[in-house]
Amino acid sequence: MKGGRPPSKIRAAEQQRRKHSVPLPLLIVLCGSQNYLKLACMSDQFLSDLNLWCLTREEAIAKAGNADTPYFQLTTPLRYRSTLLGGIIEIPPTFLTDLGSIPRAVWWWLSPDDYDISYPSVVHDYIYKQEGDLSTQHLPQRQVTRETADRVLREAMAAVGASSFRQGVVYNAVRTFGPRW
């Protein structure tokens, strides 16, 4: 086999993704009735599960200023070991995220809650909202560029087993359309 993972590992990764990914309409229903969601991760670079509180419409407007997409608040810290950042980044339990900021037109291919993007997007959202200021983290880099944040997203997508093609498409999309700081 040239490059990539053997077919058996690809199938195993796909089964893990299907097992741990919740389709967005179901995610909204779950949030509507339970308000709490726990997504287990099968990556050794993510050192904790993704524990989320789904904000009500009123909470989303109060905390995020709008309710255009579902908003989630971490209920426990999310820890990710990044080679690019040189250590472990910890996203605090009060952090708000919309998971992947993906246009609805392409949700058939990659929805915000897809396993390939849900964990990685929380890390990426955090770095973006901090505008690259990682001075509160125990990392060798105290400030990172937007490009580094986008590269961390790609690295985290690889960590959860996203295909190189998906990593490339998402990386190029955030480089082209992501907010500037």
Is residue 145 in a domain?
yes
- Structurally, the chain folds into a number of domains equal to 1
Is residue 7 in a domain?
no
Q: How far is CA 16 from the centre of its chain?
A: 16
Report which of residues 170 and 110 the model is more confident about: 170
Instruction: Express each pLDDT in 145-171 by its tens digit.
Output: 999 999 999 999 999 999 999 999 889
Is residue 15 in a domain?
no
Instruction: Express each pLDDT in 37-94 by its tens digit.
Output: 677 777 889 999 888 888 877 877 787 777 666 688 899 999 999 999 999 999 999 8
* Mean pLDDT to the nearest integer, 22-37: 49
Contact indicator for 92, 80 with CB cutoff of 8 Å: no
pLDDT score recorded for residue 100: 77
Q: The tokens 């915000």 sit on which residue?
A: 112
Is residue 71 in a domain?
yes
pLDDT score recorded for residue 10: 41
Is residue 64 in a domain?
yes
Domain assignment of residue 72, given as a range: 20-177
* Mean pLDDT to the nearest integer, 82-107: 87
**Considering only 45-49, 82-86, 115-119, 123-127, which range has the smallest mean pLDDT?**
115-119
Is residue 47 in a domain?
yes
pLDDT score recorded for residue 34: 60
In terms of average pLDDT, the best of 9-23, 38-52, 123-137 is 123-137
Is residue 76 in a domain?
yes
Is residue 74 in a domain?
yes
